[in-house]
Chain A
Amino acid sequence: MNEFTSTIGQPNAVSIGFFLAFVAFTLVITYYAAKRSRTASEFYAAGRSVTGLQNGVALAGDYMSAASFLGIAGLVSLKGYDGLIYSIGFLVGWPVIMFLIAEPLRNLGKYTFADVVAYRLRQKPIRVAASCGSLMTVAFYLIAQMVGSGSLVKLMFGLPYETAVIVVGAIMIAYVLFGGMLATTWVQIIKAVLLLGGATIVVVLVLARFDYDPVNLFDAAVLRYGPKVLEPGGLVSNPWDAVSLGIALMFGTAGLPHILMRFYTVPDAKAARKSVFYATGLISYFYILTFIIGFGAMVLVGQDVITGFDKGGNMAAPLLAEVTGGIMFLGFIAAVAFATILAVVAGLTLAGATTFSHDLYANVFRSGRSTEEAEVKMAKRATVALGILAIGLGIAFKGQNVAFMVGLAFAIAASANFPALLLSIVWGRFSTVGATASIAVGAVLAVGLIILSPTVWVDVLGNAQAIFPWKNPALISLPAAFFAGWLGSVLVPDADAQAKYESQRVRNYLGVGAE
C-alpha cells in the first residue's frame, strides 16, 4: 500500500480543467453581480438580500479555509487525536457569536463591527482604534493564506510559487472589485458546497473499505501505529498554554472582521441567527469529515508517504483522494482546495477594503460627510491596493515560517476586537477612553507577547530561549483588554455615551431603527 506513485505536483489536465471551470463559472456570477454592486449597501452587504441559509453556507465557506481542510486533515494523519483538539477549538466560537454577538451586530451596525463599537462613543478615536485591530487581523490572516496558497498550488499543480500567488491575487481582485459582497458571497457558497461534497465523497470511499464503520478505521490505525494515535499527546505539553490557545480560538472567531461583516448581508436579526445555526452545523460536519479523512490517510496512504510529500502533512487529503478515487478525483479535490484559497482571500480582502473606505475614509477623514458614491469608489481603490499588497506580501514571505500568523490573527481578534465589541453592547458605562484603551492594550499585548513567545522568538528569530513561555498570549491579553476597558471607562467616563445607551438598547433588543 505504501509503494504507490502519486501524480501530485505534476500539472494535471483534470485538476486544471476543474479549476478553470470553477473560475469561469464564478466570473460569470461576478459579471451579473456587478450590476447589483453599485451602492454602498450593495457593495459592502449585497443589498442585505442574502437569506439565512445562504449566509450560513457562506459563513461556513469563509471559515473552512484550505488551512483547515488540508492542515487539520494532515495534522490528524500525523498526530491522530490531537488534530481533533484544534477542530473543536475552531468550532466553539460559533455558539459565542450566536449568544452574544450576532443580533446586536446586525441591529446596531451598518457594514463593519466598528459601527457597533462607535455607535454611541466618539467616532474618530474609536474608528481609528477598531480599524487598527481589524486591519491587523486581516493582514496576518491574509499573509498566512497567500503564502499557504503559493506553496500548496506549487505542491499540487507544479506551478511556480510566484505565478500561483499572482493568479490567486488577480482572480480574487476581480471578484471583489466588480462583484462586491454579492459575488464574494456566491463564491463562498459554491466553494463550501464543493468542499463539503468533495470531503463527503472521500469519507464514503474511505469508509467503504471499513464496512462503513469508523471504529474499524480507528482500530486499523491503532494496529499499525499504536494506541497513541487515539490518545491526546504532545500537542498540549503545557497545560496553561492549552487553556490560552482555547481562549484565542473560542473568542477569536467572534472577533474576525470578515466573519462579522457577513451578518450585514441578511435582512434582519432572525436571518442572522438562522445563519449562525446553519454555519455551526456545516462546520461541525466538516470537522468530523476531516477527522475521518486524517485517519483514512494515516491508514490507506501511510505517514511516511505523507511526510515524503510535505513535512507538515498538508498533502494527506489530496493523497487520500488519489488512493481512493484515482487521478480524476485527485484533480477534483486539488481544484476544490485552490477554489477554497481564492474564496477565503476574497472575503478577507473585502473586509479589509471596507475598513479602509467605511471606517477610515468616510468616518474619520471625511468625518461622516462623504457621499456614498465617493465611499464605494474608495472601497474599490482599497480593494485593488490590498490585492496588490497581498500579492507582494505573499511573494515577500516566500519560504518563511508563517504558521504562527493564523494564531496571531486569532489572538488579536480575541484580544483587540472581541472585548471592545462585547463591552460596547452590554455595558452602558463603557466610554470612549475605555474602548480605545481596551483595543490598544489587547492588540499590543497580543502582538508583543507572540513576538516574545517560542513561536517567533525561537522558531522565527532563532533565539535559544523564549522570553514569554506560552505559544499563545490570549490568557493574558484578553483579560487585560477587558480590564483596560473597565479602568478607562471608570477613570474617564463619557456622559454622552451613557445617555445614549437606553436608545441603543431599544434598537439592539427590538431591532427598531436597524438598517
Chain B
Amino acid sequence: MPIVSIGSLDQTRFQELVTRKRAVSAVLSALILVVYFGFILILAFRRDLLALKVGEHLTLGVPVGLAVILSACVLTGIYVAWANSAYDESVRDLVDGMKGGVK
C-alpha cells in the first residue's frame, strides 16, 4: 500500500463511496436476515406449511431449506462480484488521487 496523507483525500468522493458501500452491505444483510428469520418464524409458528406435499412424499420443507442454503451462496456471490470489481476500482481511483500516492 502506498503511503498517503489522509488530508489529501477527496472527502466528497470518499463519503459517496462509504454511503454506497454501507447501502450494499445493509441491503444484502437485510435480505439474508429476512430469508433466514422468515424460515425460522415459519418453522416456529406455521410448521404445517413446510409439511405440505410437493411430490408423492416430498414436502415443501426440503426445497425451501435448499433455497435458504442457495440464497446464502448467491448473496455472498453478488457481494464479492460487486466489491472485487466496481468497489475496488473506485478505491484504487481514490487512493491514486491522494498526495504522495507512489506505488
Complex contact B62–A218 (CB within 8 A)? yes
| B residues in contact with A311, CB < 8 Å | none
Complex contact A100–B43 (CB within 8 A)? no
Shortest Cβ distance from residue B88 to the other chain A in the assembled complex, whole angstroms: 6
Q: A88-B69, A280-B73 are in contact. Are A232 and B91 (CB under 8 A)?
A: no
Taking the complex as formed, is A19 at the interface, i.e. its CB lies under 8 A from any CB of chain B?
no
The residue from A227, A242, A273 contacting B80, defined by CB atoms under 8 A apart: A273
CA distance A95 to B55 in the complex (A): 31
Taking the complex as formed, is A5 at the interface, i.e. its CB lies under 8 A from any CB of chain B?
no
Shortest Cβ distance from residue A414 to the other chain B in the assembled complex, whole angstroms: 14
Complex contact B17–A219 (CB within 8 A)? no
B35-60 to A contact mask, C-beta < 8 Å, 1/0: 11101110111010011000111110
Q: Which of A180-188, A372-380, A479-487, A501-509 contacts B (4 or more CB under 8 A)?
A: A501-509
Main SS at interface, chain B: helix
Complex contact B50–A231 (CB within 8 A)? yes
| A residues in contact with B83, CB < 8 Å | 103, 270, 273
Shortest Cβ distance from residue A251 to the other chain B in the assembled complex, whole angstroms: 10
| B residues in contact with A85, CB < 8 Å | 43, 65
Complex contact A509–B40 (CB within 8 A)? no
Complex contact B61–A81 (CB within 8 A)? yes
Main SS at interface, chain A: helix
4 further A-B pairs in the complex, CB-CB below 8 A; given A81-B61, A270-B88: A236-B43, A276-B80, A509-B18, A509-B91
Q: A215-B55, A281-B73 are in contact. Are A81 and B62 (CB under 8 A)?
A: yes
Taking the complex as formed, is A99 at the interface, i.e. its CB lies under 8 A from any CB of chain B?
yes
Complex contact A505–B18 (CB within 8 A)? yes
Shortest Cβ distance from residue B44 to the other chain A in the assembled complex, whole angstroms: 3
Q: A92-B32, A270-B84 are in contact. Are A287 and B57 (CB under 8 A)?
A: no
Q: A227-B57, A230-B59, A509-B14 are in contact. Are A274 and B44 (CB under 8 A)?
A: no
Closest B residue to A231 using CB positions: B51
CA distance A237 to B39 in the complex (A): 15
Shortest Cβ distance from residue B67 to the other chain A in the assembled complex, whole angstroms: 10
Chain B contacts to A: CB under 8 angstroms: 1-2, 4, 6, 9, 14, 17-18, 21, 25, 28-29, 32, 35-37, 39-41, 43-45, 47, 50-51, 55-59, 61-62, 65-66, 68-70, 72-73, 75-77, 79-80, 83-84, 88, 91, 94-95, 98
CA distance A87 to B94 in the complex (A): 41
Complex contact B76–A95 (CB within 8 A)? yes
Closest B residue to A509 using CB positions: B18
Complex contact A240–B68 (CB within 8 A)? no
Q: A100-B29, A270-B88, A511-B91 are in contact. Are A88 and B57 (CB under 8 A)?
A: no
Shortest Cβ distance from residue B34 to the other chain A in the assembled complex, whole angstroms: 11
Complex contact B37–A284 (CB within 8 A)? no
Residue in A81, A96, A236, A512 with the greatest tally of chain B CB atoms within 10 Å:
A512
Q: A81-B59, A287-B69 are in contact. Are A506 and B6 (CB under 8 A)?
A: yes
Interface size range on A against B? 35 or more
| A residues in contact with B32, CB < 8 Å | 92, 95-96, 99
Q: A277-B77, A280-B72, A509-B14 are in contact. Are A230 and B61 (CB under 8 A)?
A: yes
CA distance A506 to B43 in the complex (A): 42
Q: A239-B45, A243-B41, A288-B69 are in contact. Are A277 and B61 (CB under 8 A)?
A: no
| A residues in contact with B75, CB < 8 Å | 95
CA distance A244 to B43 in the complex (A): 13
Q: A218-B57, A230-B62, A284-B72 are in contact. Are A511 and B17 (CB under 8 A)?
A: no
The residue from A273, A502, A512 contacting B79, defined by CB atoms under 8 A apart: A273
Question: Which 4 A/B pairs are nearest by Cβ-Cβ distance?
Answer: A239-B44, A231-B51, A222-B57, A246-B40
Q: A242-B40, A246-B36 are in contact. Are A273 and B84 (CB under 8 A)?
A: yes
Shortest Cβ distance from residue B1 to the other chain A in the assembled complex, whole angstroms: 6
Closest B residue to A227 using CB positions: B57
Complex contact B25–A84 (CB within 8 A)? no
Residue in B21, B41, B47, B59 with the greatest tally of chain A CB atoms within 10 Å:
B59
Taking the complex as formed, is A439 at the interface, i.e. its CB lies under 8 A from any CB of chain B?
no
Q: A95-B32, A96-B32, A288-B66 are in contact. Are A277 and B14 (CB under 8 A)?
A: no
| A residues in contact with B21, CB < 8 Å | 509
Complex contact A88–B29 (CB within 8 A)? no
Within 8 A of B (CB), among A250-267: 250
Complex contact A236–B65 (CB within 8 A)? no
Shortest Cβ distance from residue B41 to the other chain A in the assembled complex, whole angstroms: 7
Complex contact B73–A510 (CB within 8 A)? no
